[in-house]
């Protein structure tokens, strides 16, 4: 059943002395996350995992909620929840057989060695790029020339290192649901641009200040109109179109919510505390039912300098001394030791909401959702129409959060209704997750061995941080809880997780999936050891937590581990919900999660080159029936690249992925990836020509009988 991929003829890959090989590129850690894994994790709090506390009350509440989490249960899905799944009734639309099909038909690809510089897709499929770093999207933008970059050009071109991805219908009226957007033949591609790597972007002709200015223009987000001749076929982007837009470090944002306008948000540049230029390190995100895109400001701490006098800054790992990007040399606000800019650091670390349908609307930073290292933010609508947002704080020993809006979503797609729905994330309750295991502590030995009850599972509680506009944390005001959310979560006793990245509800069942990507420090000296919800010490491969909510707004839940990841051929600590480990695709370092239009889980990975010496990729996971836990690899990304997105459209038989940081282990002079503009075998470009790598949005579609699609 495994199909060998077609192999692409390649130019010989240059060797590079620049960065360590055989691991996630050192450059990726350096630029993307400010080497945070090389530092002690900044959560020194003593709040511990607790077990068997208040379990009577909890069990009773959970069972009353209609959930049955049987020991070793093979199926925990919609059928395990007594009520009609929240989202299925409100979001899934009509007549499309949602959740019934197996989804896309494909044979899993062979896993690829970490040195393979190619996009590999299943037999019967082919791929192309929709848009690449540097492609012009605004009037005055030139075709990309790596030797003639400028800040003004980059601000008119697709940014660097695309991460979150969605393609929305061109008219919000066609936005039927978050999984079925009726994309048609004209759409709006929205992407984040997380970070830059100047070592592979520039030749020696650029001075440092110019490089930095280009990098600021290459961060942020893009909105690009896309068209195609027929549904199910590949898209082209439009170089000039009314809704095309670049968000970068000079774009003005509105700050809203309870912390907006407070003293801690004011600077000399913005005495109102309600406006800020730019957004930083935008990683994953989510799309709302009213057609806006949420984007997480993740490792923003690496761009700002603090004096260190405020010890709360250490809880976020904000730089002292200098930053890697050095933007403080160009703009005083990045060094918060400068008079008047002390609070600039408080103005990053938020969830951003962008309306791609209104090119004139300022994007909004929502303080009601808390300030931490936001991986992303994923929305579901509760039965009572309140908006529920799930969020992960991507660092070792950090937490999982949930926001529940005060007000209810209104149906309708007219301007007034959309304007109202765009206010829903401005006010609401904020919670942090506390998980409890149900197995004796002695059975969780850090090896990954499944306890005697047959499952890593238990119950949990959403602990309130802000409720009904009041702080639920002793000694902290509402704005303090929202600006110093990590500290508030420490105080209430949240559960330390192994780098919670994407946290996304399945729109058909309401079950929530948490990608815990890895945590090499789990169980190390002075650090919390394995727990039932993070069951391996020195966790290099990560795991997926499945949360079963009684109601999307309830404060109690049940949970189990769907997958304990790794390469089962060399690692006996893997677990796939009882599915035979020798029949799955190896998978490690789960990062983004998504759902296809049949309700299957899709996972993209970031870190497989380090953990299992394989290229990263995207994988389908079956959630129900006899194949629950089966993992099938659909795609592999080029050397040193991360698979972001993904986006899967079963009806169109199309899959989309943002290929981020390909060739990050190379240098400009000696690239290790030529993605995506590979030359054919034997072909050579003009002397001195540069062939990549260029982070890009990739589309995968069915081969069309040898005919062209257009
Ligand atoms: Fe930007 Fe948590 O990955
Ligand atoms: Ca158990
Ligand atoms: Ca990520």
Q: Which alpha helices (DSSP H) does 389-513 contain, by range?
A: 415-421, 478-483, 485-492
Which of the ligands is closest to the CA of residue 561? Answer: 2
Which protein residue's CA is at the shortest distance from atom 1 of ligand 1? 283
Instruction: Categorize the per-residue pLDDT at 90 as very low, low, confident or very high, splitting at 50, 70 and 90.
Output: very low
Q: Does the beta carbon of 461 sit less than 6 angstroms from any atom of ligand 1?
A: no
165 touches 187 (CB < 8 A): no
**Residue recorded with tokens 């130019």:** 11
Residue 364 falls inside a structural domain: yes
Write down the pLDDT at residue 453. 96
Q: Give residue 503 CA to ligand 2 midpoint distance, Å.
A: 22
Q: DSSP character for 415?
A: H
Residue 444 falls inside a structural domain: no
Residues with Cβ–ion distance below 5 A, ligand 3: 283, 591
Distance CA 343, CA 363 (A): 20
| 661 closest CA partner among 5, 163, 16, 106 | 163
**pLDDT digits 0-9 by tens, 94-121:** 223 344 567 899 999 999 999 999 999 9
Write down the pLDDT at residue 23. 56
Write down the pLDDT at residue 342. 97
Determine the average pLDDT of the residues in 194-212.
97
662 touches 638 (CB < 8 A): yes
pTM of the full predicted structure?
0.90
Residues contacting 606, CB < 8 A, separation 6+: 24, 517, 589, 591, 616, 642, 643, 644
- As to burial, measured by CB atoms within 10 angstroms (0-12 exposed, 13-18 middle, 19+ buried), residue 128 is middle
Residue 346 falls inside a structural domain: yes
Q: What's the chain's length in residues?
A: 710
Determine the average pLDDT of the residues in 676-689.
68
Residue 566 falls inside a structural domain: yes
Distance CA 238, CA 227 (A): 7
Q: Give residue 589 CA to ligand 2 midpoint distance, Å.
A: 23
- Structure-token pair, residue 233: 């076929």
What's 460's domain CATH number? 2.120.10.30
Distance CA 564, CA 152 (A): 46
**Domain span including residue 690:** 5-434+452-702
**pLDDT digits 0-9 by tens, 241-294:** 999 999 999 999 999 999 999 999 999 999 999 999 999 999 999 999 999 999
Q: What are phi and psi of 658, to 5 degrees?
A: -90, 125
Q: Does the beta carbon of 29 sit less than 6 angstroms from any atom of ligand 1?
A: no
Q: Does the beta carbon of 618 sit less than 6 angstroms from any atom of ligand 1?
A: no
Q: Give residue 642 CA to ligand 1 midpoint distance, Å.
A: 10
- For the chain, the domain total comes to 1
Q: Does the beta carbon of 598 sit less than 6 angstroms from any atom of ligand 1?
A: no
Beta pairing class for 470-471 and 364-366: unpaired
Instruction: Categorize the per-residue pLDDT at 183 as very low, low, confident or very high, splitting at 50, 70 and 90.
Output: confident
Residue 362 falls inside a structural domain: yes
587 touches 619 (CB < 8 A): yes
Instruction: Categorize the per-residue pLDDT at 36 as very low, low, confident or very high, splitting at 50, 70 and 90.
Output: confident
Distance CA 296, CA 349 (A): 8
Quote the mean pLDDT of the chain: 88
| 630 closest CA partner among 597, 582, 592 | 582
Calculate the alpha carbon distances from 25 to 29, 138, 245, 610, 678 in Å. Answer: 7, 33, 31, 8, 21
Determine the average pLDDT of the residues in 132-141.
98
Give the distance, in angstroms, between the CA of residue 464 and the centroid of all CA atoms in the same chain. 24
- As to burial, measured by CB atoms within 10 angstroms (0-12 exposed, 13-18 middle, 19+ buried), residue 583 is middle
- Enclosing H/E stretch for 644: strand 642-649
Instruction: Categorize the per-residue pLDDT at 617 as very low, low, confident or very high, splitting at 50, 70 and 90.
Output: very high
Q: Give residue 263 CA to ligand 3 midpoint distance, Å.
A: 32
Residue 440 falls inside a structural domain: no
Distance CA 508, CA 603 (A): 17
Distance CA 372, CA 365 (A): 13
Q: Does the beta carbon of 479 sit less than 6 angstroms from any atom of ligand 1?
A: no
Residue 176 falls inside a structural domain: yes
**Residue recorded with tokens 């008079």:** 339
pLDDT greater at residue 143 or residue 1: 143
Q: Provide the β-strand partners of residue 391.
A: 401
Q: Give residue 628 CA to ligand 2 midpoint distance, Å.
A: 18
Residue 373 falls inside a structural domain: yes
pLDDT greater at residue 92 or residue 483: 483
Measure the CA dihedral 286/645/160/392, to 10°. 50
Q: DSSP character for 630?
A: -
Q: What are phi and psi of 575, to 5 degrees?
A: -155, 130
Determine the average pLDDT of the residues in 373-391.
97
The pLDDT of residue 169 is above 50: yes
Q: Provide the β-strand partners of residue 617.
A: 636
Write down the pLDDT at residue 1. 30
């Amino acid at each position: 059943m495994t199909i060998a991929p077609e192999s692409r003829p390649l130019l010989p890959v240059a060797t590079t002395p620049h960065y360590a090989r055989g691991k996630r590129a050192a450059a990726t850690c350096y630029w993307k996350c400010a080497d945070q894994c090389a530092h002690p994790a900044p959560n020194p709090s003593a709040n511990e995992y607790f077990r068997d506390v208040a379990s009577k009350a909890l069990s009773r509440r959970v069972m009353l909620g209609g959930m049955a989490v049987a020991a070793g249960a093979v199926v925990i899905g919609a059928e395990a929840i007594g009520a009609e799944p929240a989202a299925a009734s409100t979001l899934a639309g009509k007549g499309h057989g949602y959740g019934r099909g197996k989804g896309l038909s494909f044979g899993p690809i062979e896993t690829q060695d970490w040195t393979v510089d190619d996009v590999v897709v299943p037999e019967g499929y082919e791929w192309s790029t929709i848009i690449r770093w540097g492609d012009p999207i605004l009037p005055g933008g030139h075709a990309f020339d790596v030797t003639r970059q400028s800040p003004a050009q980059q601000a008119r071109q697709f940014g660097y290192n695309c991460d979150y991805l969605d393609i929305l219908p061109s008219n919000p009226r066609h936005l039927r649901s978050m999984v079925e957007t009726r994309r048609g033949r004209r759409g709006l591609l929205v992407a984040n641009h997380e970070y830059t790597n100047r070592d592979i972007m520039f030749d020696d002709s650029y001075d440092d200040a110019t490089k930095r200015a280009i990098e600021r223009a290459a961060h942020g987000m893009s909105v690009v109109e896309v068209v195609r001749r027929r549904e199910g076929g590949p898209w082209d982007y439009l170089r000039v179109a009314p809704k095309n837009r670049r968000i970068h470090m000079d774009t003005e944002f509105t700050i809203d919510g309870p912390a907006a306008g407070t003293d801690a948000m004011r600077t000399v540049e913005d005495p109102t505390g309600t406006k800020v230029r730019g957004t930083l390190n935008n990683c994953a995100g989510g799309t709302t039912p009213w057609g806006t895109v949420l984007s997480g400001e993740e490792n923003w701490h690496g761009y700002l300098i603090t004096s260190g006098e405020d010890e709360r800054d250490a809880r976020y790992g904000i730089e002292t001394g200098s930053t890697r990007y050095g933007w403080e040399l160009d703009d005083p606000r990045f060094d918060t030791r400068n008079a008047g800019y002390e609070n600039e650091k408080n103005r990053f670390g938020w969830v951003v909401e962008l309306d791609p349908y209104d090119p004139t609307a300022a994007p909004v930073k929502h303080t009601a959702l808390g300030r931490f290292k936001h991986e992303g933010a994923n929305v579901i609508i509760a039965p009572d129409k309140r908006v529920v947002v799930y969020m992960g704080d991507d660092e070792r020993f950090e937490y999982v959060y949930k926001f529940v809006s005060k007000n209810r979503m209104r149906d309708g797609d007219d301007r007034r209704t959309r304007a109202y729905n765009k206010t829903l994330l401005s006010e609401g309750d904020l919670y942090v997750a506390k998980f409890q295991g149900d197995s004796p502590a002695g059975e969780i030995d850090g090896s990954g061995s499944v306890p005697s009850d047959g499952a890593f599972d238990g119950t949990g509680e959403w602990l309130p941080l802000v409720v009904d506009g009041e702080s639920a944390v002793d000694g902290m005001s509402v704005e303090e809880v929202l600006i110093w959310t990590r500290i508030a979560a420490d105080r209430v006793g949240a559960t330390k997780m192994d780098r919670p990245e994407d946290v996304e509800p399945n729109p058909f069942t309401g079950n929530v999936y948490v990608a815990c990507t890895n945590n090499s420090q789990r169980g190390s000296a002075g650090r919390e050891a394995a727990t039932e919800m993070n069951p391996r010490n020195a966790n290099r491969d990560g795991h997926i937590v499945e949360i079963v909510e009684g109601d999307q707004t309830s404060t109690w839940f049940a949970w189990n581990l769907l997958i304990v990841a790794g390469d089962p051929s060399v690692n006996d600590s893997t677990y796939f919900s009882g599915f035979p480990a020798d029949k799955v695709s190896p998978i490690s370092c789960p990062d983004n999660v998504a759902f296809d239009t049949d309700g299957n889980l899709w996972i993209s990975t970031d870190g497989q080159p380090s953990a299992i010496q394989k290229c990263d990729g995207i994988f389908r996971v079956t959630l129900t029936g006899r194949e629950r836990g089966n993992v099938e690899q659909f795609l592999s990304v080029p050397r040193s690249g991360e698979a972001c997105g993904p986006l899967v459209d079963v009806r169109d038989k199309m899959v989309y992925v943002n290929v981020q940081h390909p060739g990050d282990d190379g240098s400009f002079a000696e690239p290790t990836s030529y993605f995506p503009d590979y030359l054919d075998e034997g072909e050579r470009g003009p002397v001195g020509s540069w062939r990549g790598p260029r982070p890009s949005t990739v589309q995968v579609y069915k081969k069309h009988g040898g005919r062209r699609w257009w």
